């Protein structure tokens, strides 16, 4: 369940958990031209005559400024993730069925499930002409495990034997990594785990290209920020920070010369999506669900809906991240009372939010497991938290939060004014009214809620404040895109930096560990562990789980060969082509 990253918005998918080491391009039938099981297509793409042709450019639109961390090991949000899909391929990939398949590398596994031998394809090239070898992957694993690495992906390498000692500065190398030849590498794991391949970091880094750059300086280096390279079908030609990225065809791409001459990744105002699509200024984008009815009227596009591998939520702030100890610290007493948190849940009309601001394109959830996951607990085993403001008031009273002075707003059990700031993101025309709706729901049960700082926050500022534990952030809206494997590692353990609520529960950590134990090689045992974990989280309410939504992908009929699934809409872009 690690973040794809990816990730957030007031409730717009903020990170694309291609956090995930293997969150790559999907395996499909017929060269990736089939549709994933969750795809619903509205409108009809123009049926081309003859074979795909070379040439032409398309514009890929995204409604938030990109940060520009164009290296898989360091990027943070879906904004950069979408660019990286065009320019970087993983070693192994996740298929539409959410299983992991060989891609650039294949592997064999020892009988005790602890030793993996990987063999790379020969002739795969970086955009600067250097050949990809196992040394590039070894280097990437060492970067992420290094003591100077400040990114959030250590959990993708910590399972390797010797990684912890290297991470703590007690060893000069990772003992579990053995290079056999330029195309073969052996990794030994500390223990057997059912999801080793799912969670193992699968993106190499160009070792020679980064040579001489201290690891702590890599995220700010020109090689990452201005002139990034990868192994994907398109290479970066020009970057205008926060506005656009020009990508051009990489003729030596390992899967063959792409059809398109290039792709322009363009940032646009989300409120203008319909008009930009109508005018042909954008060829492909995912739109706010609030604009679906308008876009459906356009005759020059078709729509592909996908069940989202992710969920939207409202989180409570329980404390902070201790950078030295690399653990969450629950030192904020404000939301420690479980009845208080449950009252918040009952106070918010989640179905009303879904209908009003997402055009009903989604499904309510009661736990951090999306509807498409095989590990999702049955709804019958979870508390439904249906909208019930009277129940919310009752729980608030029982928890000692009462209106003492008669002003309609509640005081805390110590008789002090109880106020809550709500931290939300800008981005679309519904961002402000949606945030105000949440605030109004809370105020209707006597919780004195207000918008943090009096305004919505731009994407990068929004998450910077959360990641840095800004004290003004108390209640916050966000969303996670997830990996194919349901392991909550990366988001929910006490040692996970992306545990944004800063919530720690001993039983939760134990169940997460049990879900990848040797017993978990039994699928039914593992599923039951995750059901127990979901029941615990559902009861404890470290956050309010809103819904899993539909991703609404809109494509100009001139653009052919587009494949979408539950976690991406820019897959197999080397097969994209235009008809004009």
Q: What is the mean pLDDT of residues 542-563?
A: 95
CATH architecture of 105-220: Alpha-Beta Complex (3.90)
**Cα–Cα dist 256/232, whole Å:** 11
- Residue 7: the pLDDT is 30
pLDDT tens readout for residues 135-174: 999 999 999 999 999 888 998 999 999 999 999 999 999 9
* 346-374 residue pLDDT tens: 999 999 999 999 999 999 999 999 888 88
Token pair, residue 455, equals: 């305004």
13 pLDDT higher than 90: no
Residue 482's pLDDT is 84
The pLDDT value given to residue 481: 82
Q: Is pLDDT above 60 for 28?
A: no
- In angstroms, the CA 474 to CA 489 distance is 24
Q: Which of 44-53, 268-277, 314-323, 474-483 has the lowest mean pLDDT?
A: 44-53
Q: Which residues partner with 578 through β-bridges?
A: 559
Q: Count CB-CB contacts under 10 A for residue 31.
A: 11
Residue with tokens 């009309």: 349
Fold held by 310-549: Dipeptide-binding Protein; domain 3 (3.10.105)
Cβ-based burial of 324 (10 A; exposed 0-12, middle 13-18, buried ≥19): exposed
Give per-residue pLDDT as tens, 408-466.
999 999 999 999 999 999 988 889 999 999 999 999 999 999 999 999 999 889 999 99
- CA distances, 528 to each of 375, 506, 541, 552 (Å): 8, 18, 20, 32
Can you give the pTM of this predicted structure?
Answer: 0.78
Confidence of residue 33 (pLDDT cuts 50, 70, 90): very low
User: Residue 51: is its pLDDT beyond 90?
Assistant: no
- 8 A C-beta contact, residue 290 and residue 475: no
Instruction: Report how far residue 317's alpha carbon sits from residue 543's, in angstroms, rounded to the nearest whole number.
Output: 9
d(C-alpha 399, C-alpha 447), whole Å: 13
Could you identify the residue written with the tokens 């989640």? Answer: 350
At a CB cut-off of 8 Å and minimum separation 6, what does 518 contact?
Answer: 113, 191, 192, 193
pLDDT bin (cut points 50, 70, 90) of residue 18 is very low
The yes-or-no verdict on residue 185 having pLDDT over 60 is: yes
CA distance 394 to 290: 34
Q: Give the Cα separation of 561 and 77 in Å (integer).
A: 26
Mean of all residue pLDDT scores within the chain: 91
Is the pLDDT score of 121 beyond 80?
yes
Residue 301 bridge partners (DSSP):
556
H or E element at residue 225: helix 222-225
d(CA 557, CA 304): 12
Q: What mean pLDDT do residues 101-130 have?
A: 97
Q: Phi/psi of residue 292, each to 5°?
A: -60, -45
pLDDT in tens, 85-109: 999 999 999 888 888 999 999 999 9
The answer to whether residues 548 and 302 touch, using CB atoms and an 8 Å cutoff, is: no
Check whether 378 has a pLDDT greater than 70. yes
Range list of β-strands (E), 424-513: 448-451, 475-481
Instruction: Give the start-to-end residue ranges of the domains of the chain.
Output: 105-220, 310-549
> How many Å apart are CA 531 and CA 525, to the nearest integer?
10
Place of tokens 């497991």: 369
Query: What is the model's pLDDT at position 39?
Result: 64
Residues, the chain, total? 580
Nearest to 399 by CA among 473, 454, 346: 346
pLDDT value at 27 more than 90: no
| Rounded CA separation 559/152 (Å) | 36
- 411: which strand partners? 402, 417
Helix pair angle (389-398, 338-347), 10° resolution: 160
Q: Please list, in sequence order, all residues whose beta carbon lies within 8 angstroms of the beta carbon of residue 524, skipping any fewer than 6 positions away.
A: none
- pLDDT at res. 6: 33
């Amino acid at each position: 369940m690690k973040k794809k990253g990816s990730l957030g918005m007031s409730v717009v998918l903020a990170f694309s958990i291609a956090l995930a080491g293997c969150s790559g391009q999907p395996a499909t039938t017929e060269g990736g031209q089939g549709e994933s099981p969750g795809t619903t297509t509205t409108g009809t793409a123009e049926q081309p005559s003859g074979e795909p042709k070379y040439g032409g450019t398309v514009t890929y639109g995204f409604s938030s400024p990109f940060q520009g961390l164009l290296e898989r090991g360091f990027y943070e949000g879906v904004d950069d993730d979408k660019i990286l899909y065009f320019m970087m391929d993983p070693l192994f990939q996740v298929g539409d069925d959410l299983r992991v398949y060989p891609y650039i590398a294949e592997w064999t596994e020892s009988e005790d499930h602890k030793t993996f031998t990987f063999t790379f394809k020969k002739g795969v090239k970086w955009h600067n002409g250097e050949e990809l070898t196992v040394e590039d992957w070894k280097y990437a694993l060492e970067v992420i495990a290094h003591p100077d690495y400040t990114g959030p992906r250590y959990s993708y390498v910590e399972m390797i034997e010797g990684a912890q000692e290297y991470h703590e500065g007690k060893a000069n190398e990772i003992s579990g990594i053995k290079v056999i030849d330029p195309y073969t590498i052996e990794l030994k794991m500390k223990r057997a785990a059912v999801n080793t391949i799912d969670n193992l970091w699968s993106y190499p880094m160009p070792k020679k290209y980064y040579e001489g750059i201290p690891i702590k300086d890599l995220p700010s280096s020109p090689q990452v920020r201005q002139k990034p390279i990868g192994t994907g079908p398109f290479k970066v030609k020009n970057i205008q920070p926060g506005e656009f990225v020009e990508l051009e065809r990489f003729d030596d791409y390992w899967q063959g010369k792409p059809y398109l001459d290039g792709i322009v990744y363009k940032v646009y105002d989300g409120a203008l999506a319909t008009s930009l699509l109508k005018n042909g200024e954008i060829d492909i984008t995912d739109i706010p669900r609030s604009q679906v009815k308008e876009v459906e009227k356009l005759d020059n596009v078709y729509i592909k809906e996908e069940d989202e591998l992710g969920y939207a939520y409202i989180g409570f702030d329980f404390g902070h991240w201790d950078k030295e100890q690399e653990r969450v610290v629950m030192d904020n007493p404000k939301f420690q009372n479980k009845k208080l948190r449950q009252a918040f849940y009952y106070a918010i009309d989640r179905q009303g939010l879904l209908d009003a601001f997402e055009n009903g394109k989604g499904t309510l959830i009661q736990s951090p497991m999306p509807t498409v996951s095989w590990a999702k607990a049955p709804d019958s085993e979870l508390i439904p938290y249906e909208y019930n403001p009277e129940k919310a008031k009752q729980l608030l009273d029982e928890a000692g939060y009462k209106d003492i002075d008669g002003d309609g707003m509640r005081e805390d059990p110590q008789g002090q004014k109880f106020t809550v700031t709500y931290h939300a993101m800008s981005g679309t025309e519904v961002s402000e009214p949606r945030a105000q709706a949440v605030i109004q729901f809370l105020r209707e049960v006597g919780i004195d809620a207000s918008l943090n700082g009096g305004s919505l926050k731009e994407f990068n500022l929004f998450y910077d404040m959360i990641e840095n534990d800004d004290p003004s952030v108390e209640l916050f809206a966000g969303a996670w895109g997830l990996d194919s494997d349901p392991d909550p590692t990366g988001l929910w353990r006490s040692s996970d930096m992306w545990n944004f609520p800063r919530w720690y529960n001993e039983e939760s950590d134990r169940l997460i560990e049990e879900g990848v134990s040797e017993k978990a090689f039994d699928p039914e045992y593992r599923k039951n562990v995750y059901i127990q974990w979901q029941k615990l989280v559902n009861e404890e309410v470290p956050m309010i789980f809103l819904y899993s939504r539909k991703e609404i992908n809109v494509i100009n009929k001139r653009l052919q060969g587009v494949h979408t699934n539950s976690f991406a809409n820019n897959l197999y872009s080397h097969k994209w082509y235009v008809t004009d």
